[in-house]
Amino acid sequence: MRLTSLHLREIRMPLKEPFRISSGAQTLRRMLLVAATDEEGRVGWGECTAGEEPNYSSETIDTAWLAIREWVAPRLLGREIAAADEVWPLLEHNFRGHSMAKAAVEVAFWDLEAQRRGLSLAALLGEGRGEIRQEIEVGISLGIQASPRALAEKAAACLARGYRKIKIKIGPGEDLEYVAAVREALGPAAPLMADANNAYGREDFDHLAALDAFDLLMIEQPLACDDLLRHAELQKRLRTPICLDESITNLDRAEDMVALDAGRIVNIKVGRVGGIASALAIHDFCRSRGVPVWCGGMLESGIGRAVNVALASLPGFTIPGDISPSERYWQRDVVNPEWTMDERGRIRIPQAPGLGVVVDLDRIEDLTTRAEVLLAR
């Protein structure tokens, strides 16, 4: 493969309802989409999952745009690349950080390779990893609500809709009472977890230990993203498994988590770890060590969701991911068909080559607020 151009687009999509976590609320999603064209005219798509502000990671959509233009594109445009898994080493050598910027372009190469070989993205990722699933179970992530009762009612409606896992966001002052209300509404057997997004510290250990009473699947990222030692201290205090999200930025960090027993479940996000090759390495390691993994969401469009669906089809993903259908967040998505979930809480894995969905260029043009084309020299 030889990349002849990268087309960057910023689109803006309003959320159907505000989504609030411990660090703030969001009503509009600015997204950076990447269209990569090869020498035979095929177009591969990627989506940068960086946020508008540096509150999930240090990256933002604006820093990612700069990083792609100045450092990612010059390493890849016009270069002969035999396979998509060669991209990650090229972007990691003497190039620190900017994982979400790297991932947006690296994913487009995987889409191109899948198209070139006539494979679905799921089939390409699954090569050598055993039989991939034909469908995946779907979980949902619920933002912090106005009251425990409001959260419990929303969670109950989602369980009745068919979702196979209910994740609720928590934060200091909006945690125990909220979790208790949801557990009471859903019953003792419902698959329930809590996500703190780094909101707590060592001084909160006794408070967090009270969550053991609710028989949660996991507590996700309770402490700072760079603090594996305190996560290990907390895990010793808890019966509930800790799941690490922001802390797992590469394979080394997953290995450290296991060595320290700083967590017992991993949330894999392609953007956070720098691309599909890195995500596969983490999946393979965790699977070899019996560590469950699942796929987290970043309020992606249908393009990013296609990558999540393909990744979650792999055998190590034994917990439903945050891969809700398009209508959960958007009045209208940017792909056809839109992502849908059946009454059993499952999404079918597309079999068509590449992402398995058609990118709606007219819809994207309508939503585009800026664009830039980078060409091979």
Contact between residue 137 and residue 162 where contact means Cβ atoms under 8 Å apart: no
User: Which string of DSSP letters, residue by residue, matches 242-266?
Assistant: EEESTT--SHHHHHHHHHHT--SEE
Q: Is 70 exposed, middle or buried (0-12, 13-18, 19+ CB in 10 A)?
A: exposed
Pick the catalytic residue from 102, 154, 167, 269: 269
User: Which string of DSSP letters, residue by residue, matches 18-77?
Assistant: EEEETTEEEEEEEEEEEEEEETTS-EEEEEE--BSSTTSSS-BHHHHHHHIIIIIHHHHB
169 in catalytic set = yes
> Distance between CA 167 and CA 182 in Å, rounded?
10
What's the DSSP call for residue 150? H
> Distance between CA 105 and CA 70 in Å, rounded?
13
> Distance between CA 340 and CA 329 in Å, rounded?
12
Total residue length of the chain: 377
Structure tokens at 377: 């020299």
> Distance between CA 252 and CA 264 in Å, rounded?
15
Pick the catalytic residue from 102, 154, 167, 169: 169
CA-CA distances (angstroms) from residue 128 to 131, 284, 315? 9, 11, 11
> Distance between CA 175 and CA 180 in Å, rounded?
8
Q: Is 277 exposed, middle or buried (0-12, 13-18, 19+ CB in 10 A)?
A: buried
Distance between start and end Cα atoms, the chain: 16
> What residue spans of the chain are helical by DSSP H?
61-67, 73-76, 87-92, 99-117, 121-126, 148-161, 176-186, 205-209, 228-237, 251-260, 270-273, 276-288, 302-312, 361-367
154 in catalytic set = no
What's the DSSP call for residue 316? T
- Catalytically active residues are 169, 269
